[in-house]
A and B are shown apart, each in its own frame.
Chain A
Amino acid sequence: MKTEPHRPAALPYASDPERPVPDVRRKGDAPLRRYRFEFMMMLPALLLLAAISLFPFVYLIWMSLNTVSLAGGLGFTFVGLDNWLQLFSDPQVGQSWKISLIYFACTVGTELVLGIVVALALHALHFGRHLVLSLVLMPIFIAPSIAGLLGYFLVDPVYGFYGWVLRTLGIFSGNLLGTASSAMPTLILIDVWQWTPLIILIVSAGLASLPEDVMEAAKIDGATYFQRLFRIVLPLLAPIILIALLIRSMDAIRFFDAIALTTNGGPADTTKVVAIRLYETAFRFFHLGYAAAIGLTMLIFTIVIAKVFLRALSGRELTN
């Protein structure tokens, strides 16, 4: 028998066989008439959303086909696909994508593994589980910019607490964020510090919804903890872990506050993720058209992830 430990909430995308859509549509009863009230409710938000998202999106595409100048008033010079051709042969942008993907893989990977391990540990606690969970959630609410500044303060070679600890232990006495080899790992740790709690939160919710009877049966049958973990718990948690992974992925690409405020891409471009590269291209060198092309590639990347996310929610084909 198949058990469903966690069913994603019914979203507009999700088709839920247990909650049939009350579709009593008669012939000729068009949705527009039937749902007139509902459409009117949606209209203001959708109009506003279209104005602030669809319009800029089209504009962004148009920007990427032009050389945009700001000096002496806004000026567009159509250059066709020049920006795009340049983009695909630009080693610096390629390097930034590489850095972004490394950052992405290391942060999300570490957060996922650590988050699952901590969630399992918390689940095994017999007391104080909820208190501990509430406590470790705190970093989620911190502005990423402040998290970056706080990390900067803590690892400062002269004033920082972590800097002092590393110095005293004789491990490292330099500037962690100012050294090419350690800047990226430090930024990754700041991200891991802030966002592992989100994974813990999500996985804990999944663990709480595991079917008790299955767990009991496995225990009675003599399965060891790790057998139960790898044969039952993790497979049952797969859909929820996927959701955690995707949520984290989307935000990992979105944010750049912490990096902008600490290393701003340095030292020697070792932390210049795509978002920082775009920002610099646009607002330091004022190559706005070229920056638009970079922005569109980021957008495409995000949309692919969003597609996977919705598929994970709606169909359970990924888990079956």
Chain B
Amino acid sequence: MQPLRFLKTAILLLFVLVFVVWTLFPIAWMVLSSFKPNNALFAFPPKFIFTPTGDHYAGLFTGSSNFAGYIQNSVIAAVSSTVISIILGTAAGYGLARSHFRGKADLSFWIISTRMAPIAAVILPLYLFYSKLHLLNTLLGLVIAYLTFSLPFAIWLMNAFFVDLPIALEEAAKVDGASKWQSFVHIVLPLSAPGVVTTAILCFIFAWNDYAFATTFGGPGSQTIPIAAAQLMTQSGIDWGKLMAIGTVTVLPMIFFGMAVRRWLVRGLTLGAVK
């Protein structure tokens, strides 16, 4: 019986190991490649030992490429849309969680269906609005586009966090003479800080990772990092070293942010459906 048990454990560990390698290898390869000198980048069999170089990163900020500008655009668009979504979404999520009225289910459905709407369907009317209102090629246009998915997401997720908060605390505050606003600011908000942070980080990641809106509405004035990556792609002869450097810069901060809210990720990524 004992050897069989050992064999089972070994197979289990091997399976998990294979899956972990399959999942992490591409990320590791990307980071590794971004530090490889060109001769090592394209050497076969692939080199795992090499003298690392920062050339690809340096190349992003020198010469004709203006990568700093792309980063700036990405940060501004993602931060602005996140801040607006969080402020409005927290307030609305709370209002929704603490009120009861006819049609509430329909209202909730409308909010969630906005979040799920295919980007391709939203892009068409926005494109025409923007061309009329001269919002193409502006960061404001991108911020508005990002709000179409981050605002309903924030309302919905914050609502899920608030619904879980025991109402007894607010009732006690009311007895003590606090107004609804006071109990929201002094009791509810501090208690739901993890929810706010999780929602904010996920809104930020979604906006930061967007390619569809940025490529459609973007121009020289509003290009974000994924656009910079895509532009390297279309040139004849792809500069893979640079591309992997851009990939690393785009991806690593998001992994870091995501891991920071690891405990609340299941809730966030399932729109609050799973605790």
Residue numbers in A under 8 Å from B119 (CB-CB): 254-256, 275
Name which residue of chain A comes closest to B253, CB basis.
A141
Which stretch in B50-58, B65-73, B152-160 binds the other chain? B152-160
Residue numbers in A under 8 Å from B258 (CB-CB): 137-138, 140-141
Alpha-carbon distance A254/B105, docked complex (angstroms) = 24
Alpha-carbon distance A134/B256, docked complex (angstroms) = 11
Contact assessment for B98 and A38 in the assembled complex, using a CB-CB cutoff below 8 Å = yes
Q: Is B180 an interface residue (CB 8 A)?
A: yes
Alpha-carbon distance A240/B46, docked complex (angstroms) = 42
Closest Cβ–Cβ distance, residue A17 to chain B (whole Å):
14
Alpha-carbon distance A74/B163, docked complex (angstroms) = 46
Contact assessment for B155 and A45 in the assembled complex, using a CB-CB cutoff below 8 Å = yes
Closest Cβ–Cβ distance, residue A156 to chain B (whole Å):
8
- The contact size tier of chain A is 35 or more
Contact assessment for B240 and A146 in the assembled complex, using a CB-CB cutoff below 8 Å = no
Alpha-carbon distance A52/B126, docked complex (angstroms) = 9
Contact assessment for A56 and B129 in the assembled complex, using a CB-CB cutoff below 8 Å = yes
Closest Cβ–Cβ distance, residue A74 to chain B (whole Å):
6
Question: B92, B152, B246: which contacts A42 (Cβ < 8 A)?
Answer: B92
Contact assessment for A21 and B96 in the assembled complex, using a CB-CB cutoff below 8 Å = no
Question: A13, A250, A255: which contacts B108 (Cβ < 8 A)?
Answer: A13
Alpha-carbon distance A9/B19, docked complex (angstroms) = 30
Contact assessment for B124 and A201 in the assembled complex, using a CB-CB cutoff below 8 Å = no
Contact assessment for A63 and B23 in the assembled complex, using a CB-CB cutoff below 8 Å = no
Which stretch in A81-89, A216-224, A278-286 binds the other chain? A278-286
Residue numbers in B under 8 Å from A142 (CB-CB): 27, 209, 251, 254-255
Task: For chain A, residues 36 to 60, give those with C-beta under 8 angstroms from any C-beta of chain B.
Answer: 37-42, 44-46, 48-49, 52-53, 55-57, 59-60
Q: Is B205 an interface residue (CB 8 A)?
A: yes
Closest Cβ–Cβ distance, residue B129 to chain A (whole Å):
7
Closest Cβ–Cβ distance, residue A43 to chain B (whole Å):
8
Question: B96, B215, B254: which contacts A12 (Cβ < 8 A)?
Answer: B96
- The contact size tier of chain B is 35 or more
Which stretch in A180-188, A226-234, A299-307 binds the other chain? A299-307
Q: Is B273 an interface residue (CB 8 A)?
A: yes
Residue numbers in B under 8 Å from A70 (CB-CB): 131
Alpha-carbon distance A78/B165, docked complex (angstroms) = 52
Name which residue of chain A comes closest to B26, CB basis.
A150
Alpha-carbon distance A299/B265, docked complex (angstroms) = 27
Type the 1/0 row for A197-213, where 1 means its CB is closer than 8 Å to any CB of B.
11001100110010000
Q: Is A166 an interface residue (CB 8 A)?
A: no
Q: Is B16 an interface residue (CB 8 A)?
A: yes
Q: Is B109 an interface residue (CB 8 A)?
A: yes
Contact assessment for A44 and B88 in the assembled complex, using a CB-CB cutoff below 8 Å = yes
Task: For chain A, residues 231 to 254, give those with C-beta under 8 angstroms from any C-beta of chain B.
Answer: 240, 243-244, 247, 250, 253-254
Alpha-carbon distance A208/B208, docked complex (angstroms) = 32
Residue numbers in A under 8 Å from B100 (CB-CB): 21, 23, 31, 35
Task: For chain B, residues 219 to 275, give those with C-beta under 8 angstroms from any C-beta of chain A.
Answer: 226, 229-230, 233, 240, 243-244, 246-247, 250-251, 254-255, 257-259, 262, 265-267, 269-275
Contact assessment for A295 and B118 in the assembled complex, using a CB-CB cutoff below 8 Å = yes
Contact assessment for B128 and A243 in the assembled complex, using a CB-CB cutoff below 8 Å = no
Closest Cβ–Cβ distance, residue B49 to chain A (whole Å):
15
Q: Is A97 an interface residue (CB 8 A)?
A: no
Contact assessment for B27 and A139 in the assembled complex, using a CB-CB cutoff below 8 Å = yes
Residue numbers in A under 8 Å from B244 (CB-CB): 153
Contact assessment for B274 and A9 in the assembled complex, using a CB-CB cutoff below 8 Å = yes
Residue numbers in B under 8 Å from A161 (CB-CB): 29, 46
Contact assessment for B19 and A118 in the assembled complex, using a CB-CB cutoff below 8 Å = yes
Q: Given contacts A68-B128, A136-B23, is CB(A143)–CB(B211) below 8 Å? A: yes
Residue numbers in A under 8 Å from B126 (CB-CB): 56
Contact assessment for B16 and A118 in the assembled complex, using a CB-CB cutoff below 8 Å = yes
Q: Is A10 an interface residue (CB 8 A)?
A: yes
Contact assessment for A193 and B108 in the assembled complex, using a CB-CB cutoff below 8 Å = no
Residue numbers in B under 8 Å from A106 (CB-CB): none
Q: Given contacts A142-B251, A202-B270, is CB(A42)–CB(B96) below 8 Å? A: yes
Type the 1/0 row for B135-152, where 1 means its CB is closer than 8 Å to any CB of A.
000000000100110011
Sample of 9 further A-B pairs with CB below 8 A, known A60-B125, A139-B23, A257-B211:
A9-B275, A35-B101, A39-B95, A56-B126, A136-B23, A153-B30, A153-B244, A243-B270, A253-B118
A-B contact pairs, 13 of them (CB 8 A): A6-B275, A23-B100, A38-B94, A38-B99, A46-B92, A52-B151, A125-B12, A137-B258, A150-B26, A153-B30, A205-B275, A247-B269, A295-B121
Q: Which 3 A-B pairs have the closest CB atoms?
A: A41-B95, A45-B92, A143-B209
Partner-B contacts on A (CB < 8 A): 6, 8-13, 21-23, 31, 35, 37-42, 44-46, 48-49, 52-53, 55-57, 59-60, 63, 68, 70, 74, 118, 121-122, 124-125, 132, 134-146, 149-154, 158-159, 161, 164, 168, 193, 196-198, 201-202, 205-206, 209, 240, 243-244, 247, 250, 253-257, 260-261, 274-275, 278-279, 282-283, 288, 291-292, 294-296, 298-299, 302-303, 305-307, 309-310, 313
